[in-house]
Each structure stands twice: as C-alpha cells, then as structure tokens.
C-alpha cells in the first residue's frame, strides 16, 4: 500500500492515501525509504514519527506501508553486536558508509550469509509447543543460543535437519499442527512494543550480585528486579551503569545508551572489547549486546531504543538466561517523548511531558521480572534505569514516576561526588524494597549473621548522622565516649567499605564473600572497642593506626589473600584487647 507525504514537522510526517493502515504499522517514508512508525490516525491521514534524519524530505514523496509493526530481528548474531535505536548494526554500517550514518541506509541487523553450527535437540514425530527447545547453537564462547518454538506455534515435527552449519534463513524444522505446516528457522521477528509472554511470574527471592559493596550489602536488587538511579550531572550514573554491566552476575547484559553523549558511548565501545568476564576469563562482549543512540542521533529513534533493548533482553530470557538491561538514561527517552508529543500538538502534562508519561514508564519497567517460561525453564530480565533530572531535582516528573514503579532507589549525591566518594550513593536516602525478601538467600548462602551485620552497620551510619548534628552544636570533645566510638567506626565503614574505586583492578569488583568478611571484621572491631569503652577506656587511647590501615588495605587485597589478611587483623584486635585490659 502506498501513500504520499502531505506535511513534515521535524521527525513527524503526515501521510495521505494509506487507507488500510493500522496504528504502529512500520512505514518506509520518501524516496530514501526512511524507517518510521504510525503513532496517530486522523481521518484519512496517518501521522508517523520518522526514526532517521528527515533533512531533504519533500512533500509528495511516496510512503510505503509494510503492514507490520516496528519489529526487531531475533536470532544468533545479537551477542557482541552494536546496534542503533532501530537495530541497525553500526559496525557494519561504518564499514559500508564510513564514519557518518546517512539517512535511508538499509543493512540487515543479522548477517544472512554467516553459517552457524546447529545441533538438534528434538527429533521427528516429536510433539512440541511454544517455548520448547529444538536445538542449540554456540553463539559465543559464553552463550549457547537455544532455538525455540515461536510463540503461538505447536504441533508434531515432520522433519528436522541433521547437525551441521546453516544460515539464519534456512529451514531447520517443519511442524505439522492440525494440518497447517510451519517452517522453523533461526531468524524470527517480534514487535518491540509487545511484551513476550511467559507462563508465570515468580517472586524476587535471589539477589543480582553486582560486586559493588554499597549495593549488594545495603540496597540489593533481585534477579528480575527493577532499579532507578537518579542523580545530577557528574554524580556517577554512567559509571555505575558501566560497573553493573561489567560485573553483575547476569548471564547476558544488554546496555542501552539512550541519548547519552557520544564520548561516553565511545568509552563503552572502546573498553568493553578488552574487558574480561570475572568468572570465566572470556571477553565480556561474548555475553553483551550494545544499543547506542547518542544525543546527536535522530530523537525519534531514541524513543524506540529502549523497546528494542528490552525485546532483545526478553528473547534471551526465553532461552532460560538471566539478563540485565542497563538503560542510560530514561530521562533522555522521556525528552524524546516530549518533543514528539509537542509536534503532535497534544495537550502537555507536567513540565511539558505528555500526559501518558507515567503509563509508558510503567509499561517499560513492568517488562522486568523473573518468570517460569513457556518451555518450562526459568529466566529473568532485570532493569536498571538511570535518570538525569535537571539540576538533580528528583521531584520532577520522570524521577517521581520512575520511583513509583521501581523497587530500588540508589540516590546519587552531588556532595559525595564532589568529595570524591564513589559510588556516590547516599546511604541515608536510598532504599531497596527487596531486602526482606532476599534475607533468606543471604542467610543460607553467605552467612547466618549477614542480615544482622547489615542492620547493625546501617544503624551505625544513621546514628552517625544524628551525632554529627549534635557535634556541630556542642563540639566533638563534649560528646560521650560511646558516641565518639560510633563516629570512629562509621568513618571506617564509609571510607573503607562503601567507597570503591571503579578504576582499580582489584577494588572495582568485590565478591559477596569478601564483602561479608570485610563487614564482619569492621563490626568485630566495633564490638571489641565498645566493650573496652563500656569498661571505662577512653576512645582516644584506642587509636591504633596499624589496625585501621590493615582494614583500609582490605579493599585492595586479592580474593585469594583475604583470609590471611583477616587473620592478621584479628590477631591485632586481640592484642589491643589484652593490652587495654592489662
């Protein structure tokens, strides 16, 4: 079906003549065939947002309706790839077009010519349903790509190919379902705005370990959970997103740079290929998909990018993997919504954002979750969304609506960042609603004392804040000895435990076992010194530079050396106790 352009307003075009067009149909606009999507029907006219630069587009140019919604291609070859917001492979385009992407460039997201080694897991005459695995492909050194029966398809396998090398468009199996034959290939498509179905959502009872002490200890996120990271410019949102992408124990990471500065995405694209996975030692890109839609790319594609990212994440979840999606930043995505809404002349809501902002955010974050899949396996998508409120004011609409639908809030603090305390997560303002549900896992897998250690350490930090207010009035010397001890230990927790150097080879990642050992020894020092203070010892006489330096060095101690370092600290603590009693 073909129509003609009758109006152009930036990335929004009005098309006449598409009589059978439907909402969300994908269009090819103009002589260059620019990718666009119908977002509004107005009588005989279809209003579409164009996902590419509309410079040079003229009235009267033809528009072709593909008859299908905006979709992504799913199949082997996604891992290790770099796409833009509408799944154009940027590395392939660079080889073809050079450093700059022209409008109307058409490149297949997945390589049609590459052969993949397919190993069948099903046999002829076997009954299969949606979600069942019929074979696997070694997509990378870390990921086995499961070829599964598409949604809505079931029947008996009439024919399945033998083990061998095949392209993504070759038929692997033929199903007979009630007299209807269906060909199964590696390549499938899925509309980005529709969530892929699951059999059952499961409770969030397993933590997503990140290797970041302030997160894993005090504000954990569950596998299949959702988190918001709001903060002002320079507070470290992007670095936290990078750290989680690099070190979280998710099987697969999808990193979506939505409207971020080009130099930040360049850093990711240049550093990720050289990074090693902490568990396997293999390249990190062997379990990563990158979506890059920088601030100088067409604004409408920014709106589509997070849907492209989460659809890819759901695809790997349906194979039984735990996937982590980093969206940096959803504020830029919301700004794209606002710009498009303005061009459509819609009634603006708060601060000019469209009235449906809250619904769109809710739809996105609700696609996170741990689930029992259609094929019987278990998989998950965890979503961490960075938010960039203007001036760091989290009372603005994007931050507030995000906090309503996410269960973890990592509050980045500009004052902490300015004092070079990173990660700059404010421990007094942040929260995690998963903590109680995850305590049982920590109790069984880390230590029976973990929940208690965490609560006691947080209580010290909160008490430190209260004592500091009093100290500003009466002075430090006028404080009771117990309060001085609290300030002393809380300082150790802040500086030697909560602070973490993302650029240090050892301190950048801390296993949960190491975190437990570090927190345990800090709290034991508090117990020893409190017992002495209760016995009449003055805090100033307990000052021991050696033991504090030993605790401070734990951050930079390798995992294999941590036990001997802890033994030395405990020996030193015993000496302190004996000397004071003597």
pLDDT digits (tens, 9 = 90+) for 466-512: 999 999 888 888 899 999 999 999 999 999 999 999 889 899 999 99
pLDDT at 210: 95
Reading phi first (left if > 0) and then psi (alpha if -120 to 50, else beta), residue 293 is in beta
- Verify that 422 and 478 share a domain, yes or no: no
Which residues, other chains included, contact 355 with Cβ-Cβ below 8 Å and sequence gap of 6+? 346, 347, 348, 349
Identify the pLDDT of residue 391. Answer: 81
Residue 98 lies in a domain: no
d(CA 241, CA 236): 9
Q: Are residues 8 and 38 in the same domain?
A: yes
DSSP per residue, 253-292: EEEEEES--HHHHHHHHHHGGG-B-TTT-SBGGGGEEEEE
Query: Is 57 part of any domain?
Result: yes
* pLDDT for residue 580: 63
Decide if 267 is inside a domain. Answer: yes
In a domain, 77, yes or no: no
Q: Same structural domain for residues 207 and 184?
A: no
Residues 248, 371: one domain?
yes
Question: Are both 416 and 454 inside the same structural domain?
Answer: no
Task: Verify that 149 and 6 share a domain, yes or no.
Answer: no
Sole residue written with tokens 């029976």? 448
- Is 574 among the domain residues? yes
**CATH code, domain with 35:** 2.40.30.20
376 and 425 belong to one structural domain: yes
Predicted local confidence at residue 544, as pLDDT: 66
Do 330 and 425 reside in the same domain of the chain? Answer: yes
State the DSSP string of 180-243.
Answer: EEEEEES-EEEETTSPPP-SEEE---SB---S-HIIIIIS--BTT-EEEEE--TTSSHHHHHHH
pLDDT at 105: 82
Q: What DSSP designation does 348 have? A: B
Specify whether the CB–CB gap between 348 and 397 falls below 8 A: no
In this structure, the answer to whether residues 297 and 395 fall within a common structural domain is yes
pLDDT digits (tens, 9 = 90+) for 56-107: 999 999 999 999 999 999 999 999 999 988 898 988 888 887 777 777 788 8
Q: Which residue has the tokens 């140019």?
A: 61
Residue linked to tokens 């996105």? 364
Q: Are residues 334 and 423 in the same domain?
A: yes
On whether residue 101 sits in a domain, the answer given is no
* DSSP label of 140: S
Flag whether 194 is in a domain.
Answer: no
Domain range for residue 357?
200-433
Domain membership of residue 93 (yes or no) is no
The CA–CA distances, whole Å, from 106 to 87, 89, 93, 528, 570 equal 11, 10, 9, 68, 64
Residues 354 and 377 in one domain: yes
CA distance 59 to 13: 10
Query: 97 by DSSP, 3-state: which?
Result: helix
Torsions phi, psi for 253 (to 5 deg): -120, 130
Domain boundary among 433, 462, 488: 433
Q: Name the domain boundary from 368, 399, 433.
A: 433
Regarding whether 151 and 298 lie in a shared domain, the answer is no
CATH of the domain at 153: 2.40.50.100
Helix orientation angle between 330-343 and 397-405, rounded to the nearest 10 degrees: 120
In the predicted model, residues of the chain with pLDDT beneath 70 are 543-545, 579-582
Query: Which element (helix H / strand E) includes 519?
Result: helix 512-534
The number of distinct structural domains making up the chain is 4
């Amino acid at each position: 079906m073909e129509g003609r352009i009758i109006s152009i307003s930036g990335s929004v075009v009005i098309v006449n003549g598409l009589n059978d067009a439907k909402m969300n149909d994908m269009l090819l606009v103009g002589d260059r065939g620019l990718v666009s999507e119908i977002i509004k029907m107005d009588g005989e006219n279809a209003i579409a947002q164009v996902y590419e630069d509309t410079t040079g587009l003229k009235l009267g140019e033809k528009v072709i309706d593909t008859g299908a919604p905006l979709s992504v291609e799913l199949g082997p070859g996604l891992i290790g790839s770099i796409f833009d917001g509408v799944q154009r492979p940027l590395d392939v385009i660079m080889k073809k077009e050079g450093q700059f992407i022209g409008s109307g460039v058409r490149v297949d997201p997945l390589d049609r010519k590459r052969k993949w080694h397919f190993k069948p897991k099903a046999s002829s005459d076997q009954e299969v349903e949606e979600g069942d695995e019929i074979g696997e492909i070694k997509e990378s050194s870390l990921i086995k790509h499961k070829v599964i029966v598409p949604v809505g398809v079931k029947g008996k396998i009439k024919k399945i190919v033998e083990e061998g090398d095949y392209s993504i468009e070759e038929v692997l199996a033929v199903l007979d379902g009630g007299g209807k034959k269906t060909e199964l290939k590696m390549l499938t498509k899925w509309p980005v705005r529709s969530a892929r179905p699951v059999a059952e959502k499961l409770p969030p009872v397993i933590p997503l370990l990140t290797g970041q002490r302030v997160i894993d200890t005090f504000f954990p996120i569950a596998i299949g959970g959702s988190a918001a990271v709001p903060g002002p410019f320079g507070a470290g949102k992007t670095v936290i997103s990078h750290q989680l992408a690099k070190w979280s124990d998710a099987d697969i990471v999808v990193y979506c740079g939505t409207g971020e500065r080009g130099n930040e995405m360049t850093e990711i694209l240049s550093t990720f290929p050289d990074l090693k996975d902490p568990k396997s030692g293999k390249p990190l890109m062997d379990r990563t998909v990158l979506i890059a839609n920088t601030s100088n790319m067409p604004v409408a594609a920014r709106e589509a990018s997070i849907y492209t990212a989460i659809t890819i994440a759901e695809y790997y979840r349906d194979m039984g993997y735990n996937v982590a999606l980093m969206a940096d930043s959803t504020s830029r995505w919301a700004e794209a919504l606002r710009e498009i809404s303005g061009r459509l002349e819609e009634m603006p809501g708060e601060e000019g954002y469209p009235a449906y902002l809250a619904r769109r955010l809710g739809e996105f974050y609700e696609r996170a979750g741990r689930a029992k899949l259609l094929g019987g396996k278990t998989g998950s998508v965890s979503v961490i969304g960075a938010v960039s409120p203007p001036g760091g004011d989290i009372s603005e609409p994007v931050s507030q609506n995000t906090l309503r639908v996410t269960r973890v809030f990592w509050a980045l603090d500009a004052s902490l960042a300015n004092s070079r305390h990173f990660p700059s997560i404010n421990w007094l303002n942040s929260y995690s609603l998963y903590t109680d549900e995850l305590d049982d896992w920590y109790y069984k897998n880390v230590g029976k004392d973990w929940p208690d250690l965490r609560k006691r350490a947080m209580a010290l930090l909160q008490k430190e804040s209260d004592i500091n207010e009093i100290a500003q009035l009466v002075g430090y010397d006028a404080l009771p000895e117990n309060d001085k001890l609290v300030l002393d230990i809380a300082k150790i927790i802040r500086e030697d435990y909560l602070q973490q150097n993302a650029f240090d080879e050892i301190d950048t990642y801390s296993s949960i076992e190491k975190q437990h050992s570090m927190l345990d020894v800090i709290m034991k020092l508090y117990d020893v010194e409190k017992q002495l203070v209760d016995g009449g010892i003055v805090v100033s006489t307990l000052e021991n530079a050696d033991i504090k330096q030993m605790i401070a060095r734990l951050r930079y101690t390798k995992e294999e050396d941590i036990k001997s370092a802890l033994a030395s600290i405990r020996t030193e603590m015993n000496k302190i106790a004996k000397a004071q009693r003597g």
